[in-house]
């Protein structure tokens, strides 16, 4: 009998994101560059006679418990697929800010699927389909690293690893108002705005050169403009960050987390300036794979 299975659930940023159109199934056709970060939740599943889900850790506040949690749904899907009962406790040590555009919920779900596949190896060939059922960002986390995602994000093309970069994340200030169904609201707003030229190919070309800076990513996220219209405080947060660190920042996914990326070893100085000015920051790096 397995006693406990555990694994990391890393965050991601999108280095670039193009929205190519709306599909007849309601999803958007995307072209994006996913990059895995070292910042990670830690997920474990433990056999239990009292099945359920617990969330702890510095970012646990507001993360749903029970069936609303994507990690629990992943366990149920996996157990159903394996013809077993979901008689487990899922424990999440939450380190990734929730609802920040960092896909922590999707990553927790993928981590549960990967752990479940150790218990029930017959699930392995079905993992990509199960992941996509849970959400568009979930399939990326089955392999992570640096990848181009097309379709809803599930048509993944692994890319050669980017050399190590520092990444400084700027989550929204405490007390900022959450937006109901944030990602859907940002996509809906996008439809009202002018389209812009695609950016993924040119960012990819720069990434192939081996080093990236935030300047290379300015304007490369099609959702940024729409997110600024949905979150009224987002521009003010950006202006404050940029004045303090004297560099642009860019949005990950539908936001509202801004980020800076630069050479390995340079993130601490950026974070120091920001902390001195009272901004909340998380310093991390690109994952080593």
The whole-angstrom separation of Cα 140 and Cα 6 is 19
For ligand ATP, the binding residue among 75, 98, 134, 138 (CB under 6 A) is 98
Taking residue 176's Cβ as centre, other Cβ atoms within 10 Å add up to 15
Query: In the annotation, is 137 catalytic?
Result: yes
Task: Compare residues 30 and 70 and give the one whose CB is closer to ligand ATP.
Answer: 70
Query: In the annotation, is 189 catalytic?
Result: no
Q: Binding site membership for ATP: which residues?
A: 97-107
For ligand ATP, the binding residue among 69, 214, 221, 284 (CB under 6 A) is 69
**Stretch binding ligand ATP (CB under 6 A), from 13-21, 67-75, 160-168, 214-222:** 67-75
The nearest distance, CB 276 to ligand ATP, in angstroms, is 28
Decide: 171 and 282 in contact? Cβ < 8 Å. yes
Task: Compare residues 94 and 213 and give the one whose CB is closer to ligand ATP.
Answer: 94
For ligand ATP, the binding residue among 102, 207, 217, 220 (CB under 6 A) is 102
Question: Scanning the structure block, which residue is given the tokens 């007390």?
Answer: 175
Of 153-192, which residues contact ligand ATP (CB under 6 A)?
Answer: 182-183
Closest CA to 256 of 51, 140, 102: 102
Decide: 240 and 270 in contact? Cβ < 8 Å. no
Q: Which of 31, 137, 166, 216 is catalytic?
A: 137
The nearest distance, CB 223 to ligand ATP, in angstroms, is 10
Of 217-276, which residues contact ligand ATP (CB under 6 A)?
Answer: 253-254
Q: In sequence order, which residues have a C-beta less than 8 Å from that of residue 181 and are 6 or more positions away? A: none
Question: Scanning the structure block, which residue is given the tokens 């690109």?
Answer: 286
Please tell me the count of residues contacting ligand ATP according to CB under 6 A. Answer: 20
For ligand ATP, the binding residue among 8, 10, 81, 101 (CB under 6 A) is 101
Residues of this chain that interact with ligand ATP (CB under 6 A) are 63-64, 69-71, 92, 98-106, 108, 182-183, 253-254
Give the residue numbers marked as catalytic.
12, 137
């Amino acid at each position: 009998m397995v006693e406990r299975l555990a694994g990391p659930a890393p965050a991601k940023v999108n280095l670039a994101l193009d929205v190519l159109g709306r599909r007849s199934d309601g999803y958007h056709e995307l072209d994006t560059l996913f990059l895995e970060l070292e910042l990670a939740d830690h997920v474990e599943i433990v056999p239990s006679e009292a099945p359920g889900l617990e969330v702890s850790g510095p970012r646990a506040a507001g993360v749903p418990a029970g069936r609303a949690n994507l990690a629990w749904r992943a366990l149920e899907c996996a157990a159903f697929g394996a013809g077993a009962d979901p008689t487990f406790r899922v424990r999440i040590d939450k380190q990734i800010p929730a609802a920040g555009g960092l896909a922590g919920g999707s990553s927790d779900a993928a981590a549960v699927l990967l752990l479940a596949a150790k218990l029930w190896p017959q699930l392995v060939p079905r993992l990509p389909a199960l992941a996509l059922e849970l959400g568009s960002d979930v399939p990326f986390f089955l392999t992570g690293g640096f990848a181009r995602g097309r379709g809803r994000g599930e048509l993944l093309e692994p890319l050669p690893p980017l050399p190590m970069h520092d990444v400084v994340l700027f989550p929204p200030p405490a007390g900022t108002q959450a937006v109901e169904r944030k990602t859907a609201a940002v996509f809906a707003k996008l439809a009202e705005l002018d389209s812009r030229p695609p950016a993924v190919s040119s960012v990819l070309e720069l990434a192939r050169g081996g080093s990236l800076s935030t300047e290379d990513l300015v304007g490369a996220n099609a959702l940024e403009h729409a997110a600024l219209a949905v979150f009224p405080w987002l521009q003010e947060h950006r202006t404050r960050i940029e004045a303090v660190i004297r560099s642009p920042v860019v949005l990950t996914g539908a936001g509202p987390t801004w980020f800076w990326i630069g050479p390995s070893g340079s993130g601490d100085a950026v974070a120091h300036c920001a902390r001195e000015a009272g901004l909340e920051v998380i310093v991390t790096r690109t994952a080593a794979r």
